[in-house]
């Protein structure tokens, strides 16, 4: 890991204490019971994790992306599902802080940072996932109001969240016709589908968000009309780093458990940990995680300094870290033998949780498109 400053080391230690005390002991029960621990999220807000990137004057922690990837990796060592939701909540809070007008920031951010209001990000639709610019949810101006109609799919936190950043079409086809809106959970016409039955991420709800002529005041437009797709994509740059970091944290936990398991088990008269074949597997897993972490930290530093190549690097880091994290967790399960397949050992939960990281915040196939475009645009 990159040498940390004293402040970063203290941040990691505080976050690790929280993960070990409030996430890890309950993660398996939350997964089994499909329980969304809102009370624990508010405890996380109490140590500044509800507004990681929000400016301090708005009630946030004012941390950098470089700090943030440390936070989310550490949180995910306790529970990747809850860490993943916190990453999404913080992505939305950053969007409100960065693109909101003074009245929006004053009204929304203190409650988001305290997690009195939970947040959800609504871009994907049943018919437009990877091709997000093809979304069909529409917002029509009606005097001083907007009327929103459409359906959003795979929305983390839906139903429990109070604030929804919704991308809707206000103009013509393509990215330039999309605007961003702030929709509240009790707005008339807003409803939710059933909680999806998922492979992993069971400790947070995933539901459709259904907008049936939801009428909202004009001051709920976030940013300028037609700017929504750019807002959505800029939010995802940071969101991709958060999910990449969560993959690192989950995989690191799986690797640590594998070390302890192999040290405790014997076969053919000696500890499994003393078998060179298994030690070499552990060495490869640790090396791959270190490489992925370095790439995530490089991308975070680029985003912090406003580097024009940051979207390219964020896509590269997300692709590599989520693929690597899942691969390491899967190999950790194999190293546990039959015990890895049992719920009580926690490894199979990590594998299930990390699998979706290769899909959300832009599939890894789309990450390759972004990286390839960045490599070849000089030859266009």
Query: Any idea which residues carry the catalytic annotation?
Result: 361
How far is 136 from 265, CA to CA, in rounded Å? 56
DSSP strand pairing (138-142 vs 145-156): antiparallel
How far is 45 from 251, CA to CA, in rounded Å? 25
Cα-to-chain-centroid distance, residue 352: 15
List the alpha helices (DSSP H) in the chain. Answer: 6-18, 27-33, 38-46, 65-76, 80-99, 102-113, 228-264, 276-304, 310-335, 347-355, 364-376
List the alpha helices (DSSP H) in 23-177. Answer: 27-33, 38-46, 65-76, 80-99, 102-113
Question: What residues contact 331, with CB distance under 8 A and at least 6 apart?
Answer: 281, 285
- Please list the residues that pair with 206 across neighbouring strands: 156
How far is 367 from 320, CA to CA, in rounded Å? 9
Three-state DSSP at 88 gives: helix
CB atoms within 10 A of CB 205: 23
Three-state DSSP at 147 gives: strand
How far is 320 from 293, CA to CA, in rounded Å? 10
- Please list the residues that pair with 267 across neighbouring strands: 270
How far is 227 from 230, CA to CA, in rounded Å? 6
Query: Contact 63/87 with Cβ under 8 angstroms?
Result: no
Residue with token string 């896509």: 315
């Amino acid at each position: 890991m990159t040498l940390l400053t004293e402040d970063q080391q203290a941040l990691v230690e505080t976050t690790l204490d929280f993960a070990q005390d409030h996430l890890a002991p309950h993660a398996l029960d939350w997964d089994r019971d499909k329980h969304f621990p809102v009370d624990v999220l508010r405890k996380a807000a109490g140590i500044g994790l509800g507004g990681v990137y929000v400016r301090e004057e708005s009630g946030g922690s004012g941390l950098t992306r470089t700090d943030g990837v440390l936070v989310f990796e550490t949180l995910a060592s306790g529970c990747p599902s809850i860490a993943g939701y916190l990453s999404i909540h913080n992505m939305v809070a950053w969007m409100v802080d960065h693109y909101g007008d003074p009245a929006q920031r004053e009204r929304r951010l203190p409650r988001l940072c305290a997690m009195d209001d939970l947040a959800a990000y609504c871009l994907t639709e049943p018919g437009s996932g990877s091709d997000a610019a093809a979304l069909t949810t529409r917002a029509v101006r009606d005097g001083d109001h907007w009327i929103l109609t459409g359906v959003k799919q795979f929305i983390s936190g839906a139903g429990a969240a109070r604030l929804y950043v919704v991308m809707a079409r206000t103009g013509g086809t393509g990215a330039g016709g999309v605007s961003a809106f702030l929709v509240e959970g009790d707005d008339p016409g807003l409803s939710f589908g059933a909680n999806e039955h998922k492979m992993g991420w069971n400790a947070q709800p995933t539901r459709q968000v259904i907008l049936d002529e939801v009428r909202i005041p004009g001051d709920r437009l976030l940013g300028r009309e037609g700017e929504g797709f750019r807002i959505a994509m800029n939010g995802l740059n940071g969101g991709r780093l958060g999910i990449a970091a969560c993959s690192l944290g989950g995989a690191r936990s799986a690797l640590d458990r594998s070390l302890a398991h192999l040290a405790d088990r014997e076969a053919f008269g000696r500890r499994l940990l003393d078998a060179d074949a298994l030690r070499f597997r552990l060495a490869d897993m640790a090396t791959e995680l270190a490489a992925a972490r370095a790439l995530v930290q490089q991308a975070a530093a680029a985003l912090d300094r406003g580097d024009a190549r940051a979207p390219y690097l964020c896509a590269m880091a997300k692709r590599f870290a989520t693929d690597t994290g899942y691969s390491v967790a899967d190999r950790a399960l194999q190293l546990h033998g039959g015990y890895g397949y049992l719920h009580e050992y926690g490894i199979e939960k990590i594998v299930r949780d990390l699998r979706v990281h290769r899909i959300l915040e832009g599939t890894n196939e789309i990450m390759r498109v972004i990286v390839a475009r960045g490599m070849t645009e000089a030859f266009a």
